[in-house]
Amino acid sequence: MICIKCFKRCKGIKSKGLPGMLSHLAKYTVCDNCDDTGKYAKDYYTQYKEHYRELHKTYKKELTDSYVANTLVDRTELKAKDMPKELISAKREYMKLNRLIKEKS
């Protein structure tokens, strides 16, 4: 495989089943030295950290499906998308009930 950025030979994962128009890219990859996607994501997150914090606060306040599903799968090997809607709605009602109990106390 040849790195598409630095054009050096490197070991890479071969692309399987590329569409016909992209078949010319089958022999190319991005080597570890040139792969900077993690750095970009980190920089982007730190730049907009306060926005993400506020966003997650609204998820928690509104008990969105994604927030409730992720609380269900915390500390397990399951994924949030594997949770059935009925279980998510039951957990949401349970969380609302716990909030009411805490407010009354």
pTM of this prediction? 0.60
What letter represents residue 55's amino acid? L
pLDDT tier, 18 (very low <50, low <70, confident <90, very high otherwise) = low
Does residue 63 register a pLDDT over 90? yes
State the virtual CA torsion across 18, 19, 23, 28 in degrees, nearest 10.
-40
> Token match 């016909």: residue?
20
- Interatomic CA distance for residues 18 and 61, integer angstroms: 43
Tallying the residues shown for the chain, one arrives at: 105
> What average pLDDT score do residues 29-42 get?
78
Average predicted confidence (pLDDT) for the chain: 87
The DSSP call for residue 36 is -
CB distance 68 to 42 below 8 Å: no
What is the average pLDDT across 60-73?
Answer: 96
| pLDDT (0 to 100) of residue 1 | 78
